Amino acid sequence: MAIQAGLLGLPQCGKTTIFNAITGAAAAGFSATEMNRAIINVPDNRIEPLVELYHPEKTIYATLEVVDIPGLQAGSTSEGGRGNRLLGHIKDVNALLHVVRCFESGGAIDPAGDVEIIDLEMVTADLQTLENKINRLEKKSRSGDKEAIRELELCRKVQSRLDTGIPARKQNLSQAELKAIADCHLASVKPVLYIANLGAMDNADDPPAKKLREIAAEEGAEMIVVAGRDEADLIELDEDDRQLFTEELGITESSMARLIRATYRLLGLITFLTTGPDEVHAWTCRDGDPAPVAAGKIHSDMEKGFIRMEVIRYPDLIELGSEEAAARAGKMRLEGKEYLVRDGDVVVVRFSK
């Protein structure tokens, strides 16, 4: 299943606008349901030079699935309300892109207040989910089930901190606690990337964005600034006009590219590459995945029958111009099962079928 990131935030904070900008900038597929969902290509400036080198028939980028959910209102999760159903849709997302309105539109701009509301909604929904699990565990533990008793205790700890309003991701949960709550898919445990949605890029250092940066820093999270509407407008233009206006609006690089890359970092993901006349292909694995696990992203046979990996670093391949030249220059390494794949490795997997 594709790695998923979910856009989350108050109503009218610009989630769908950002979703459109992201998908317009990098759409690989689109299917509109009640939630907007799209698979997007992860922008990667290593692909173009590789395409020039190999002239492959196909070029395949690493992908990420982005989910846009309608806004959560204060109080919407209590008593089985609509918010619960909305949060249910982010059960499977791996990371949250928390959009915070930093542009003028009627109501006051209040990043701190907005973040608090969303956190509280998540905590409220999570408490209900966890309570269901705790009820089940209580029944089981009454019959003396040791495992259930232990799990119950761990869940109650998380519950008591949620009760005081602390999102699970800020609770410094132990491995055991994380394991005990894993099947609950709590919303507030998911890693967050804060997105300050600005009226214009000129506002990047104004108080609202500064405040949000502080909030993010306090919990060790990252914040990025985007001008959602400007970017969504840009993708409507043809190439020449887009260049012109991009500069005029002070957007130095597509903030959507920055956003996608920041999501990648947040999830601890890296990209490795396979190349050849058939295809240039960017693959996603976790930072720290050993070679066989990464190879398994290409094909499960490659993981099972893994023998070795031939690795050339991307800059060496570009500089030397071919795999043969890289090998002659001693820049192709043979790596075994223990090798941890690095971002930008160009690999060939040797395996037995």
Distant-in-sequence contacts of 92-95, Cβ < 8 A, 24+ apart: 92/1, 92/4, 92/185, 93/4, 93/5, 93/6, 93/67, 93/190, 94/3, 94/4, 94/5, 94/190, 94/191, 94/267, 95/4, 95/5, 95/6, 95/190, 95/191, 95/192, 95/193, 95/263, 95/266, 95/267
Asked if 13 is part of the footprint of ligand GTP (rule: CB under 6 A), the reply reads yes
- Shortest distance (Å) from residue 279 CB to Mg ion: 36
Asked if 15 is part of the footprint of ligand GTP (rule: CB under 6 A), the reply reads yes
**Residues contacting 228, CB < 8 A, separation 6+:** 14, 17, 18, 21, 99, 197, 198
Select from ligand GTP, Mg ion, none the partner in contact with residue 13, using the beta carbon and a kind-dependent cut-off of 5 to 8 Å.
ligand GTP
| Region from 7-15, 103-111, 170-178, 204-212 binding Mg ion, contact rule CB under 5 A | 7-15
Mark residues 50-89: x for contact with ligand GTP by CB under 6 A, - for none. Answer: --------------------xx------------------
Asked if 17 is part of the footprint of ligand GTP (rule: CB under 6 A), the reply reads yes
Q: Tell me phi and psi for residue 286, to 5 degrees.
A: -85, 145
Of 89 and 261, CB closest to Mg ion: 89
Asked if 36 is part of the footprint of Mg ion (rule: CB under 5 A), the reply reads no
Asked if 12 is part of the footprint of ligand GTP (rule: CB under 6 A), the reply reads yes
**Residues contacting 233, CB < 8 A, separation 6+:** 245
Residues 88-147 that bind ligand GTP (CB under 6 A): 103, 105
Of 59 and 73, CB closest to ligand GTP: 73
Asked if 84 is part of the footprint of Mg ion (rule: CB under 5 A), the reply reads no
Of 77 and 275, CB closest to ligand GTP: 77
Asked if 16 is part of the footprint of Mg ion (rule: CB under 5 A), the reply reads yes
Residues 203-232 that bind ligand GTP (CB under 6 A): 227-229
Of the candidate residues 3, 5, 8, 16, the single one contacting ligand GTP (CB under 6 A): 16
Select from ligand GTP, Mg ion, none the partner in contact with residue 111, using the beta carbon and a kind-dependent cut-off of 5 to 8 Å.
none
Chain centroid to CA 214: how far?
21
Asked if 36 is part of the footprint of ligand GTP (rule: CB under 6 A), the reply reads no
> Total residues contacting ligand GTP (rule CB under 6 A)?
18
- What are the tokens at 108? 């006051």
Q: Tell me phi and psi for residue 179, to 5 degrees.
A: -65, -40
Select from ligand GTP, Mg ion, none the partner in contact with residue 227, using the beta carbon and a kind-dependent cut-off of 5 to 8 Å.
ligand GTP
Of the candidate residues 3, 5, 8, 14, the single one contacting ligand GTP (CB under 6 A): 14
Residues 179-198 that bind ligand GTP (CB under 6 A): 197-198
List residues binding Mg ion (CB under 5 A): 15-16
List residues binding ligand GTP (CB under 6 A): 9, 11-17, 70-71, 103, 105, 197-199, 227-229
